[in-house]
Amino acid sequence: MSMVGLRMRGALVTTIYRKTLTVSETVLNSAFSVGEIVNFMSTDTDRIVNSCPSFHALWSIPFQLVVTLYLLYSQVGLAFLSGIAFSIILIPVNKVIANKIGKLSTKLMQEKDARVKMLTEVLRGIKAIKLYVWEQHFLRLITKLRDKELKYLKGRKYLDALCVYFWATTPVLISILTFGTYVLMGNKLTAATVFTGIALLNMLISPLNAFPWVLNGLTEAWVSIKRIQRLLDLEDLDLDLYYNESLLESSQNADIIIKHGIFHWGKELTSEEKSRLHAAQMRRLSKGKGKGKKTIVHLEHNVGEDHHLFVLSDINFTVKKGEFVGVIGSVGCGKSSLLSAILAELSIPEGEIAVSQVESGFGFATQQPWLQRGTVRDNILFGKTFEDNRYKAVLFACGLAEDIYLLPAGDLTGVGEGGMTLSGGQKARVALARAVYQDKAVYLLDDILSAVDVKVAKHIFQHCIMGLLKNKTKILCTHHVNYLVHADKIVLMEGGVIKQQGKPADVLTNIDDILPIELELGESTQSSLSSLLDSVKLDSTMEEESDSVLLQEVSETGTVELSVYGTYWKAIGHALSFIIFLAITVMQTSRNMTDWWLSRWVTNADPSGNTSQFYDDELNEGHFYAGDPEILPTSYYMKIYIELVCLNTVFTLLRAFLFAYGGIVAASKIHKLLLKSVLKLTFKGKSTFFDISPIGRILNRFSTDTYTIDDSLPFILNILLAQFFGLLGKVFSI
């Protein structure tokens, strides 16, 4: 089963990962948060994998019960039906409890998603949080989310305890019902009948104790399967439906064509975006120009229909092969959204779009660069084969030559999660170099010059955009219009529509008062190959393993240290831990006393089966009979036996709820300690911890490992203690 579980985990994680790549970003972001997707790959996957052993238990437990009950029938006859009747009564009760547990598990996972989402955002901005001393604020926010999660965890754990109580007391109650009915039917209890019956009833303990955990595990797995199924039910992005290749037939020289396109993100605008869009609309309306006036009416109509969705409206746009197009406009006017529309990341309810050679992909440099944990070279190559001359040319063109020279290990220097060990400008240039090295036919560059200074920006424009990418189709979104004098076409956007497009001289002169331009770059756009190669210095002598940023996570091996057990003991609390152990001890003691009294009953039973009316009268009056115990009436033994059974059920209930409460207390305290250690950074006070530790590794502590402490550890510990104290009870009863 371990191999099956391992394969299931790999299949689930791979399926979820592939699904996130095949679904449109618009659809994915509107349906799920980052926290939900993280939990899909961690907690939900763990629940499904952990349910693998339960599939065998689901058929083996009923089989064990049937065989045991048949053997019990052979010993006590039809008297065993009284115990069966009690078990049947418990079935609908447990079904109600299981349904309630399923509902609480669903709500629990929703709160867990919200908590993991908040933690993801906090870890991504941890440097800013520590810089502004916001640790306490976010500590309170995450603690509130954790409290909501614990609210549903408490409800589920207490229902688990109730379910366990029912099944744990079932063997004892079945025994009293079975033997009581057997005696009332006129049969005599013999040592052979009682001890064989007790042995058979003890055989019921293990499957009956395991059955609620099996049901709960399968219920949780079913909840997780339905959660993941929601993701898998999302419609995949069909590029054949999004792009209309027939548009390219009429224009063989075009790379991108958009006709009357209307695009939207499928999400509501923020209040700031609404006010900015409204202000832009009012400015255009006040001008009263024909085309702008018609456009504003059309845009307001679409926005009103879509409940203030940001809309790219009536986009007509053509880019020829090898053409350099600049896109300008104010903040929030839709420049980045236009690139996303070309990338098929937006919904297109109306209009048509076509892109040539869409199968080969795009070269895309985003406004917010993303880097993976690894070396600078790994981030630039990104799976491509290393070619020395081409690699050096890309480094030089993207202005990375001097940075590579200054880095301690050259291009083999480690890059932290999301490029945390690099500056903003370095991250932007590494991301640009990665796009350029892919050697695509079409390049979409989203404000790549904003993160660098003027000198570096000129270098990138001269040697990269107008150098290596000279013969490529390029769309550059930027606020630096002074570079766009060399563009073949400029598109001016405002409020989600194309206000004007044409040659630089036609477009830039209309906004000369608002956006002054420089028509001279001051540097030649020509460069020789020799200067490219000579200016780049690479250091290939250092190994990646020597970089602290790329160190692997250290895992303990061998025996678990006592300090780990001590930490969990302290998390529960000394007093509560002692009370839990005391409750387990008393429960097992009462169980042993019940078995002992039953054996005494059989041993001292009257062989003739007759009882004296005097003894009955004495018992009815509550008098203690001090005569020969061998001739005590059956009702006396039955009464004491019932009292001991009731006492055992009380201690069992107490033990179940105390154990559930202790697990909740431990889960709450350990999460608080973990959260404080991360936010307050007790790791020797060094903030470099977040530079060398991937966010995924830290999130695993708050998702998968927290789930282990919340659910798996109490479950395993409960079984361990029950079996251990049961073994001790058997040893001392010999």
**pLDDT beyond 90 at 432:** yes
**pLDDT beyond 50 at 13:** yes
**pLDDT beyond 80 at 345:** yes
pLDDT value, residue 291: 38
Question: What residue spans of 77-190 are helical by DSSP H?
Answer: 80-124, 126-131, 135-184
Lowest mean pLDDT segment, chosen from 9-13, 16-20, 533-537:
533-537
What is the share, in percent, of the chain residues with pLDDT greater than 90?
14
**Residue where the block lists tokens 């009257």:** 606
- Beta-strand runs (E) in 277-408: 309-320, 324-329, 347-355, 363-365, 374-375
CB 243 within 8 A of CB 353: yes
**pLDDT beyond 50 at 705:** yes
pLDDT band at 681 (very low <50, low <70, confident <90, very high): low
CA–CA dist 254, 243 (Å, integer): 14
Per residue in 549-559, pLDDT tens?
565 666 677 78
> Hey, how many other C-beta atoms are within 10 angstroms of the C-beta on 111?
18
Question: Residue 535 corresponds to which tokens in the numbers above?
Answer: 């200016």
Task: Read off the pLDDT of each residue in 165-171 and give the average, rounded to a whole number.
Answer: 77
Edge-to-edge strand list for the sheet holding 473-477: 363-365, 442-446, 473-477, 324-329, 489-494, 497-502
Going by the DSSP 8-state scheme, the letter that residue 548 receives in this structure is G
CA–CA dist 494, 501 (Å, integer): 12
Per residue in 260-319, pLDDT tens?
888 887 654 455 545 554 554 444 444 444 433 333 333 333 433 444 567 888 888 899
> Hey, how many other C-beta atoms are within 10 angstroms of the C-beta on 706?
23
Going by the DSSP 8-state scheme, the letter that residue 605 receives in this structure is -
Helix, coil or strand: residue 561: coil
Per residue in 592-611, pLDDT tens?
888 788 777 777 754 444 44
Task: Read off the pLDDT of each residue in 146-154 and give the average, rounded to a whole number.
Answer: 93
Q: Bigger pLDDT: 97 or 516? A: 97
Helix (H) or strand (E) holding 395: helix 388-397
pLDDT value, residue 631: 57
CB 227 within 8 A of CB 113: no
Mean residue pLDDT across the chain: 79
pLDDT value, residue 445: 92
Task: Read off the pLDDT of each residue in 376-396 and give the average, rounded to a whole number.
Answer: 89
Ranked by mean pLDDT, the top range of 50-59, 532-541, 663-672, 719-728 is: 663-672
Work out whether strand 324-329 and strand 473-477 pair parallel, antiparallel, or are unpaired: parallel
pLDDT value, residue 145: 93
Task: Read off the pLDDT of each residue in 85-101 and give the average, rounded to a whole number.
Answer: 79
Q: Nearest-CA neighbor of 425 among 378, 393, 459?
A: 459
Per residue in 602-635, pLDDT tens?
777 544 444 434 334 444 444 444 445 455 677 7
> Hey, how many other C-beta atoms are within 10 angstroms of the C-beta on 406?
10
Task: Read off the pLDDT of each residue in 13-37 and give the average, rounded to a whole number.
Answer: 86
pLDDT band at 442 (very low <50, low <70, confident <90, very high): very high
Helix (H) or strand (E) holding 265: strand 254-268
Q: Bigger pLDDT: 207 or 550? A: 207
pLDDT value, residue 170: 77
Per residue in 467-507, pLDDT tens?
889 889 999 998 888 888 888 899 998 888 888 888 888 88
Residues 6 or more apart whose Cβ sits within 8 Å of residue 563: none
Helix, coil or strand: residue 351: strand
Helix (H) or strand (E) holding 336: helix 335-342
Q: What share of the chain is helix, strand, coil (3-state, %, to 5)?
A: 65, 10, 25
pLDDT value, residue 76: 84
- Beta-strand runs (E) in 403-517: 414-415, 442-446, 473-477, 489-494, 497-502
Per residue in 326-336, pLDDT tens?
999 888 888 88
CB 222 within 8 A of CB 10: no
pLDDT band at 668 (very low <50, low <70, confident <90, very high): very high
pLDDT value, residue 307: 46
CA-only gyration radius of the chain, Å: 36
CA–CA dist 336, 474 (Å, integer): 14
* Phi and psi torsions of 325, nearest 5°: -115, 130
CA–CA dist 109, 399 (Å, integer): 47
Q: Is 624 exposed, middle or buried (0-12, 13-18, 19+ CB in 10 A)?
A: exposed
Lowest mean pLDDT segment, chosen from 121-130, 395-404, 638-647, 675-684:
675-684
Task: Read off the pLDDT of each residue in 130-151 and give the average, rounded to a whole number.
Answer: 90
> Hey, how many other C-beta atoms are within 10 angstroms of the C-beta on 264?
21
CA–CA dist 169, 177 (Å, integer): 12
CA–CA dist 703, 659 (Å, integer): 23
**Residue where the block lists tokens 């042995």:** 199
Q: Nearest-CA neighbor of 448 among 468, 420, 489, 478?
A: 478
CA–CA dist 673, 146 (Å, integer): 13
DSSP 35-82: HHHHHIIIIIHHHHHHTHHHHHHHHHHHHHHHHHHHHHHHHHGGGHHH
Instruction: Enumerate domains of the chain plus CATH numbers.
Output: 2-233+567-733 (1.20.1560.10), 239-357 (no CATH), 360-547 (3.40.50.300)
pLDDT value, residue 286: 46
Task: Read off the pLDDT of each residue in 442-452 and give the average, rounded to a whole number.
Answer: 88
Q: Bigger pLDDT: 201 or 553? A: 201
CA–CA dist 725, 733 (Å, integer): 12
Going by the DSSP 8-state scheme, the letter that residue 236 receives in this structure is B
**pLDDT beyond 80 at 49:** yes
Look up the pTM and report it: 0.63
pLDDT value, residue 11: 92
pLDDT value, residue 475: 93
pLDDT band at 36 (very low <50, low <70, confident <90, very high): confident
**pLDDT beyond 50 at 142:** yes
